[in-house]
Amino acid sequence: MMVVRPIQADDHAALRELARKTGPGFTSLQDNDEQVAAKIESALKAFDPDTRPEEALYLFVLEDTDSGEIVGVSGIEAAVGLTDPWYNYRVGTLVHASRELKVYNSINTLTITNDHTGYSELCTLFLAPDARHSKNGSLLSKSRFMFMAEYPQRFSEHLIAEMRGYSDEQGISPFWEGLGRHFFSLDFSEADKLSAMDKVFIAELMPKNTIYTNLLPEPAQQAIGQTHEATTPARRLLENEGMRYTGYIDIFDGGPTLVARTDDIRAIQESHYVKAHIDDMPAEGELYMVSTSGFEDFRCCITPLTAVGKHVITLTPEVAGALNINEGATVRIVPLSSGRRF
């Protein structure tokens, strides 16, 4: 059975293996020993119940309880931009018009901003290719909302998610080639690696003035706000939960940034507590996410549910074992997708 849980120190080798599979443009988890070690160290501090880092990184893994294999990872940054600046482009519009000349031109622009400073961020979502089935991606992504619903005081009232931007089969980003390369003189993959470790150089080298997108090459213009093919399913999941593209893009690959009020996320709004009754009788029907109320021992999985009384649901021993709960435990539930409620 698949279960999402907080990352642990002995997950280092598994996370390192996942990092080898992410590919170019996946800034938050790269094939880099130093970055992987730093992420685990930060996550272990975040899940220490005696500390509460302002910019905590909550990192979760998807574990197959039958084999013990780690097949996915996802994370939440409690707040971005409080120590290192958080940059993106805001897509705007300028109108150049003349009645006398009968000219009216509406031109898109890019302006570098720090508008999302302090927002919480959904990040580091990656599922191993051979595990992309059986709603595993939905569980890995949406389980983060169950954790946020349980601990709202640890997160901002606003939430963002940066989507990986378009690149071709060779890993070349047309947005980077048309804009960023002129100011960095670096290949996209190299600049992306550097940005994951140190963003200060961005402020030093990026143009501070507004950029007219009609001056960019056509492929770069077309890439603005477009999502990488491998990331499109993740974008749809988040949009179905209430996140939206509002005109902010990544400064490297032009990928869209999705934004929402945290309380407006469907899974957070609709999730609620029930008591668990453990029974061998398997349930059928709609899938629900079920999560525990623990912090460092948080667990979340998906399963059909059967209601056996007011605010009481039945879980099989297998599910109860994956969640590490006993008879009568309080759990949080929500439909995996929009649907009915108990």
Cα dihedral 263, 266, 270, 276 sign = negative
Length reported for the chain: 342
94/179 Cα distance (integer angstroms) = 19
The catalytic site residues sit at 228
3-state class (DSSP) for residue 169: coil
What DSSP element (H or E) covers 147? helix 136-150
319/317 Cα distance (integer angstroms) = 5
CA-CA-CA-CA torsion for 227, 6, 45, 28, nearest 10 degrees? -20
CA angle 252, 120, 192 (to 5 degrees): 20
Amino acid at 143: S
178: DSSP letter: I
- Give the other-Cβ count within 10 Å of 159's Cβ: 28
Quote the strand ranges of 8-131, DSSP E: 57-64, 70-77, 88-98, 103-113, 120-127
Task: Provide the token pair at 255.
Answer: 């990928």
- Closest residue by Cα to residue 73 from 23, 137, 10, 130: 137
3-state SS, one letter per residue, for 220-287: HHHHCCCECHHHHHHHHHHHHCCCEEEEEECCCCCCEEEEEEHHHCHHHHHCEEEEEEECCCCCCCCE
Q: For residues 324-335, b (16+ Cβ closer than 10 Å) or e, as one string?
A: ebeeebebbbbb
